[in-house]
């Protein structure tokens, strides 16, 4: 039988805090005074909450004994995703495994992040080491422009400007765009 696993990506720190407390998004909304819609948009990476909402969310988690720095979990220049990121994979699965409460989909239907990482590394090797570091630090290593900028003696806005120039260069190179599409196929982002 063919089975399809569909995974929706969430903001990991918020998701883990909700799971740890056994809260729903609605419960966080009630405790923080932030609308359920705004909580959903933040959790689903649609946008970064405003500073006042961040303070309310952080206070609600803190009062429950879970401490996360809500402001630092989004890159400072994060504007939100245009669409939800989803991983979909279909695989032939033995029916006996499905009824056995076996994590069939989780263990056997993983995106190939290793191949995607290799393709991305190959793509970045076409840039100068300095240009590649702007992309690698913020997108692959998860640093904010402020954090990455401090390491190289730049302000966050200066670092962001240089990174955006590199992104523009990548977007305008058809060969690089083709390689990035190959990486995308490895992890099946829909």
Residue 113's alpha-carbon distances to 41, 119, 155, 185, in angstroms, are: 26, 10, 32, 10
| 120 and 58 in a common domain | no
| Mean pLDDT to the nearest integer, 29-43 | 91
Both tokens assigned to 190? 């829909």
One domain, residues 64 and 18: yes
The answer to whether residue 181 sits within a structural domain is: yes
Q: Confidence class of residue 30 from pLDDT cuts 50, 70 and 90?
A: very high
Please indicate, yes or no, if residue 57 is contained in any of the structural domains.
Answer: yes
What residues contact 44, with CB distance under 8 A and at least 6 apart? 8, 10, 11, 84
Task: Give the range of the structural domain holding residue 27, as residue numbers without chain letter.
Answer: 2-73
In CATH, what number is assigned to the domain containing residue 156?
Answer: 1.10.10
With respect to residue 96, please indicate whether it lies within any of the assigned structural domains. Answer: no
Quote the pLDDT of residue 34: 93
**Is 60 exceeded by the pLDDT of residue 101?**
no
Which one, of 51, 28, 52, 50, lies nearest residue 40 by Cα?
28
Are 15 and 66 part of one and the same domain? yes
Instruction: Establish if 61 belongs to a structural domain.
Output: yes
Residue 174 lies inside a defined structural domain of this protein: yes
User: Rounded CA gap, 74 and 17, in Å?
Assistant: 15
Residue with tokens 């300095």: 130
Residue 78 lies in a domain: no
Does the CA dihedral 20-23-24-29 come out positive or negative?
negative
pLDDT tens-digit map of 147-167? 888 988 999 889 888 888 888
Mean pLDDT, range 93-121, rounded to an integer: 60
pLDDT (mean) for 114-141: 79
Considering the domain boundaries, does residue 127 fall inside one? yes
Residue 84 included in any domain: no
For residues 125 and 61, membership in a common domain is answered with no
What CATH number is associated with residue 62? Answer: 1.10.260.40
What is the per-residue pLDDT for 22?
Answer: 93
56 in the same domain as 120 = no
Confidence of residue 18 (pLDDT cuts 50, 70, 90): very high
Domain boundary residue among 49, 73, 97?
Answer: 73
- Say whether both 136 and 68 belong to one domain: no
Confidence band, pLDDT 50/70/90 cuts, at residue 27: very high
Is residue 124 located within the same domain as residue 66?
Answer: no
What is the pLDDT, as a whole number, of residue 181? 67
Where does a domain end: 58, 73, 88? 73
pTM equals 0.46
Residue 107: the pLDDT is: 46
Q: What is the count of structural domains for the chain?
A: 2
- Which is higher by pLDDT, 156 or 106? 156
> In Å, how far are 8, 50, 78, 185 from 105, measured between CA atoms?
14, 37, 31, 19
């Amino acid at each position: 039988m063919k089975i399809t696993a569909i995974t929706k990506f969430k903001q990991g720190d918020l998701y883990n805090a909700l799971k740890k407390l056994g809260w729903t998004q609605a419960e966080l909304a009630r405790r923080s005074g932030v609308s359920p819609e705004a909580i959903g948009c933040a959790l689903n990476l649609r946008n970064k909450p405003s500073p006042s909402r961040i303070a309310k969310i952080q206070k609600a988690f803190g009062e429950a004994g879970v401490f996360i720095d809500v402001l630092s979990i989004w890159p400072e220049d994060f504007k939100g995703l245009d669409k939800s990121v989803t991983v979909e994979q279909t695989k032939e699965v033995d029916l006996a495994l499905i009824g056995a409460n076996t994590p069939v989909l989780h263990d056997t239907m993983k995106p190939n992040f290793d191949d995607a990482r290799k393709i991305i590394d190959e793509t970045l090797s076409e840039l100068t080491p300095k240009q590649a570091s702007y992309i690698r630090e913020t997108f692959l290593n998860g640093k904010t422009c402020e954090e990455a900028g401090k390491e190289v003696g730049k302000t966050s806005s200066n670092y962001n400007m240089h990174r955006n120039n590199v992104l523009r260069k990548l977007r305008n190179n058809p060969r690089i765009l083709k390689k990035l599409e190959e990486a995308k196929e490895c992890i099946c982002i829909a």
